């Protein structure tokens, strides 16, 4: 998806001071938001003279081209990660699972660890939840700094024992290489989807329980009564695909599962309304992109979403299909309200941190944690 350009000015190193060496760690199941954020950081940090190594799944390198961003790429095998961390001044993990891998790789080494909590949802009840809370505590207490993508994540990190928890500046993710960031004709996109004369709704995100797609399908049942009936397209892949596809077919829902798409920005730009039905989110990429593109958004009031969107979206309770269906229907029936939300969305997006500001915050934290040791190199 679209992003603002990152400065390519290389910062000069102070006399006698070696370049900062930073390792970025992504877990085996890192999502698009994590990977896009790391590519953005790699681009900005490398442009400022930092020697960046990205330890990530091979498929992530293939899609996000971290080496093209100026970083050295290393597969995320434990032995490779430990070797990469051995030569680092600072290690920065993205997500709790990546944080745990970094903690293990750094065992016995006095190298500062930064962990960004992007979108970890509150721990589930039962044994799974107890294990999740244990991992969160271990990572939070081992990190020199925990950065939360939303205020509630900062609070959670403190609750889990973080010595230093701060709100992260997280810019809108950089588009994956080859995602077709160039402008596309919305009319052509709509024609390809078969929605020339009917409204187009869009949801984007992995097909997992916390995304709330079962509630979204419940809402889609209500939209069958509208004239014309809108088409809901869902861009994303995941373990719930078969379950959702079966419901769509059996109930005759006006929904199409598109699978994993690299042209989500074009799909979004062609939509009348974007829908975010999640049970929990921090800084949802769909919410960010919808507001930046001026696409009216209906979202659940969960996690960091209200903080992110302000008054620039319609917020509904999570897990409640009737309010979700009604909010979307009201927007489809009111073009002036959609126009007002589009303008409000762009204004709200202008208040978010840029990629340069995000990189500057991260670099200042790295310097804060490493200056004494780097002066002794």
233 and 260 co-located in one domain? yes
Q: What percent of the chain has pLDDT over 90?
A: 72
Domain count, the chain: 2
| Same domain as 342, residue 201 | yes
Q: Starting at the earlier edge strand, list the strands of the sheet with 113-117.
A: 72-75, 51-56, 21-26, 90-94, 113-117, 145-148, 165-167
Q: Which domain holds residue 97?
A: 21-171+353-375
Give domain status of residue 1, yes or no.
no
Is 8 part of a structural domain of the chain?
no
Residues 32 and 56 placed together within one structural domain of the fold: yes
Give the pLDDT of residue 131. 87
On whether both 344 and 357 belong to a single domain, the answer is no
Per-residue model confidence as pLDDT tens digits over 10-30 = 444 544 467 999 999 999 888
Same domain flag for 143 and 284: no
Domain membership of residue 178 (yes or no) is no
Kindly tell me if the per-residue pLDDT of 3 is higher than 80: no
Token pair recorded at residue 102: 């970094």
Residue 221 belongs to some domain of the structure: yes
Residue-wise pLDDT tens digits, 59-89: 999 999 999 999 999 998 889 999 999 989 9
Residue 42's pLDDT is what? 96
254-291 per-position pLDDT tens digit:
999 999 888 888 999 999 999 999 998 888 889 999 99
- CATH code for position 82: 3.40.50.2000
Amino acid 122: pLDDT: 62
> DSSP alpha helices (H): ranges in the chain?
32-47, 58-64, 78-86, 96-105, 126-142, 151-159, 186-193, 213-223, 241-251, 264-270, 285-293, 305-309, 321-332, 335-349, 355-375
């Amino acid at each position: 998806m679209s992003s603002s350009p990152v400065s390519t000015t290389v910062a000069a190193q102070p006399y006698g001071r070696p370049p900062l060496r930073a390792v970025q760690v992504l877990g085996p199941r890192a999502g698009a938001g994590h990977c896009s954020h790391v590519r953005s950081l790699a681009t900005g940090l490398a442009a400022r003279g930092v020697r960046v190594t990205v330890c990530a799944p091979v498929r992530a390198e293939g899609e996000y081209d971290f080496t093209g961003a100026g970083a050295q790429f290393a597969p995320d095998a434990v032995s490779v990660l430990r070797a990469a961390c051995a030569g680092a001044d600072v290690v920065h993990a993205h997500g709790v699972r990546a944080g745990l891998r970094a903690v293990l790789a750094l065992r016995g080494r006095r190298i500062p660890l930064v962990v960004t909590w992007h979108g970890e949802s509150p721990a589930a009840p039962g044994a799974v939840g107890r294990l999740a809370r244990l991992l969160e505590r271990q990572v939070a207490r081992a990190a020199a700094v925990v950065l939360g993508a939303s205020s509630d994540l900062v609070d959670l990190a403190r609750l889990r024992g973080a010595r230093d928890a701060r709100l992260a500046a997280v810019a809108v993710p950089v588009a994956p290489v080859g995602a077709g960031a160039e402008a596309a004709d919305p009319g052509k996109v709509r024609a390809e989807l078969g929605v020339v004369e009917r409204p187009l709704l869009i949801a984007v995100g992995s097909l997992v329980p916390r995304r709330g797609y079962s509630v979204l399908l419940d809402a889609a049942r209500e939209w069958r009564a509208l004239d014309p009936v809108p088409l809901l397209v869902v861009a994303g892949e995941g373990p719930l695909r078969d379950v959702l596809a079966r419901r769509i077919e059996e109930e005759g829902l006006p929904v199409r599962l598109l699978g994993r798409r690299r042209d989500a920005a074009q799909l979004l730009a062609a939509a009348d309304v974007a829908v975010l039905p999640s049970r929990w989110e921090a800084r949802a990429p769909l919410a960010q992109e919808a507001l930046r593109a001026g696409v009216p958004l209906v979202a659940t009031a969960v996690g960091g979403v209200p903080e992110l969107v302000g008054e620039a979206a319609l917020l509904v309770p999570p897990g409640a299909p009737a309010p979700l269906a009604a909010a979307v229907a009201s927007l489809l029936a009111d073009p002036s309200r959609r126009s007002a939300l589009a303008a409000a969305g762009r204004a709200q997006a202008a208040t978010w941190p840029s990629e340069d500001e995000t990189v500057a915050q991260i670099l200042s934290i790295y310097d804060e944690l490493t200056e004494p040791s780097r002066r002794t190199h």
